[in-house]
Amino acid sequence: MLIRSEGSRESVIRSSEITPQHVFESFQRSRRQFLATGAALGAGALAAGRLSGLVQPSVAHAGSVTYTVPDPQTPLQKAATYNNFYEFGTDKDEPARYAKTLKTRPWAIAVEGLVKKPLTLDIDTLLKLRPLENRVYRHRCVEAWSMVIPWDGYSLSELINHCQPLPSAKYVQFLSLYDKKQMPQAPSGYDWPYSEGLRMDEAMNPLALLTFGFYGQTLQNQNGAPVRIILPWKYGFKSAKSIVKIIFTDKQPRTLWNEIASGEYGFYSNVNPKVDHPRWSQAHERRIDGSLFPHTIPTLMFNGYADQVAGMYAGMNLAKYY
C-alpha cells in the first residue's frame, strides 16, 4: 500500500517507500470490517441493498499514485449523522433520521444523450463492472466544514468508457432520485430532481469516484446510497447522491444550486480558499473528526489535490469561473 508523503501532501510516492503504520492499520481495520460485514450478510444480502461479500475493496492506486491522505479519518458515526441531503430535510441531523424511507433495491441508472447506444444499468451490473477500491479522501463542504472519509468505488471514467459517449459529448449531467413518497421531507421551492454536472475532462479525471460504500461497508441512505460520485477537489454539493440518470451533452447542463443562486454556487465550485462565499470566508474550515470540539484548519487550494487537477483549469480565471 502506497501513500503520499506528508511534507508535499499530494506528491507521487514510489512503491519502494514505506507506508506509515497508522495508515496501514486504518486500512486493515476498514478491510476487516468490510469482510466481517460481508460474511454476516450471507448470500441474500445483495438483494437487501448491501454489497456482496464477493465484491471486496482493494488498495486503490493508479500507476504509482495511491489515493489516501495522512489526515486522521472522521469516525463513521460522525460521517453518518452530519449530512447535507435536502431531499430528506435541511438540517444536518435530518437525513440520518428520515432517509430510512429510501428504497435502494431495485435500482437502475439510465444513460442517455450523446452516447453510441442509450442503455440502462442496474446496480448489480455496476458493482461487477470493476473491482472496488478503497480511497481515503478529504471531503470539503461549501459551508466551511470538512471530513476525511474512506470511500469504496472505482474511477467514474470506467463507467463513462463503458457507456461509449460520442466525441461531441463535452459535459456529463447527473440526476438524483426524486420521489415524493420516499422523500416527503424535501422542501418546496427547489427544482427537483437534484441535478449536477461536470466537464468531460473533469468526469474522466482519475480522482472522480463512482462510489458504492464507505468505511468498508455499503453507503448508508443518508450518504447517497446506493451509488453516488465523489469529487474531492470540489465542494461537496457537486458530488451527486442516489444517481438514477446520466446524460451526455454538448452544452453545459443546469445544476440545482447554480440555478438557485449563481452568485454563491458556481458551476465549477472548485475548493478555493481565495474566493469567499458571499456570506462567509472559505480560507479556513472546521475539520469534523473524533474530537469533542472540531478544530479549524487552513483550506488548501483544490482541497489539497492541486497536483492532480490544476492542469484542467490552466489559463482560467478561477475567481470568475468559481
Q: Residue 112: which CATH number?
A: 3.90.420.10
Phi, psi (5° rounding) for residue 126? -60, -40
Return d(Cα 108, Cα 121) in angstroms, integer. 5
Q: Can you give the pLDDT at residue 180?
A: 96
Residue 136 sits in which domain range? 71-313
Residue 55 lies inside a defined structural domain of this protein: no
Q: Can you give the pLDDT at residue 291?
A: 83
pLDDT tens per residue, range 165-187: 999 999 999 999 999 999 999 99
pLDDT tens per residue, range 283-293: 999 999 888 88
Residue 304 lies inside a defined structural domain of this protein: yes
Across the chain, which has 322 residues, the per-10-residue mean pLDDT values are 38 37 40 38 35 51 71 96 97 98 98 97 96 97 97 97 97 98 96 98 98 97 98 98 98 97 96 96 94 90 97 96 94
Q: Can you give the pLDDT at residue 216?
A: 95
Residue 280 lies inside a defined structural domain of this protein: yes
Residue 169 lies inside a defined structural domain of this protein: yes
Q: Can you give the pLDDT at residue 319?
A: 92
Residue 65 lies inside a defined structural domain of this protein: no
Q: Can you give the pLDDT at residue 290?
A: 80
Residue 15 lies inside a defined structural domain of this protein: no
Q: Can you give the pLDDT at residue 293?
A: 83
Q: Can you give the pLDDT at residue 294?
A: 80
Q: What are 107's strand-pairing partners?
A: none
Residue 180 lies inside a defined structural domain of this protein: yes
Q: Count of domains in the chain?
A: 1
Q: Can you give the pLDDT at residue 15?
A: 36
Residue 224 lies inside a defined structural domain of this protein: yes
